[in-house]
Amino acid sequence: MRILKACLFDLDGVLVDTAGYHFKAWRRLAQTLGIDFTEHDNERLKGVSRMRSLEIILEIGERTLPPEQMLALCEQKNTEYLLDVAQMTPAEILPGVVEFLKALKAEGFKIALGSASKNAQLILERTALLPFFDAIIDGRHVTNGKPDPEVFLKGAEALGVLPEECVVFEDAVAGVEAAKNGNMRCVGVGQPEVLTLADIVVQDLTEMSVARLRELEQM
């Protein structure tokens, strides 16, 4: 049995709901390029970097652009996204998050964020979640995006725990794969038929408790 000591959380779709903000910003950008970008297409952008997201949109539109223009477009998207993020409040926190984080703290678990977002700290500040976190590893700290496990391995290192002592909470297929590639257990947040590699899947964190977390030690 492996004793669990730490929890690593993805941000978007697990702790807060910023997916709508991302979608609106990407759709506006796609429209300027004459590309029809739908909510179904947006599912492909979950858990991947900003540049890879733009690459996917260009693939959908069967377009290619020079690297310097792609960089400029990524910055344009982020600027528009940040205008929305600046208006965020704790109302954007997803159900069960605060209660579960409080329970983890009370039981002595270490907590880290592992997100591709380069705006993670700002979002945590705006939603008043920042005090719960012992470490923040985001897109500014890693070279490789998920499903590479780098973001979670760095999170474990920052917390001073072994990968096998960690549980990752993820809503994206690439994120679940990253957790498993890093030899960590994983709680999927979403649909079981999508997050098939997760050890367990919950609809949201209202379904999680420390007792249920401890059950993962037997897996």
Structure tokens that stand for 113 in this block: 């964020």
- At 186, give phi and psi (nearest 5°): -140, 135
> Contact, 7 vs 159, CB < 8 A?
no
Q: Are 30 and 57 in contact (CB under 8 A)?
A: yes
Residue 94 burial (CB count, 10 A): 17
CA atoms within 13 Å, Cβ hemisphere of 102? 6
Q: Annotated catalytic residue: which of 12, 41, 171, 199?
A: 12
10 is catalytic: yes
Catalytic site residue from 10, 41, 138, 199: 10
HSE-CB for 143 with a 13 A CA cutoff: 0
CA distance 184 to 172: 15
Q: For the purposes of burial, counting CB atoms within 10 Å of the CB of 87, is it exposed (0-12), middle (13-18) or buried (19 or more)? A: exposed
Residues catalogued as catalytic: 10, 12
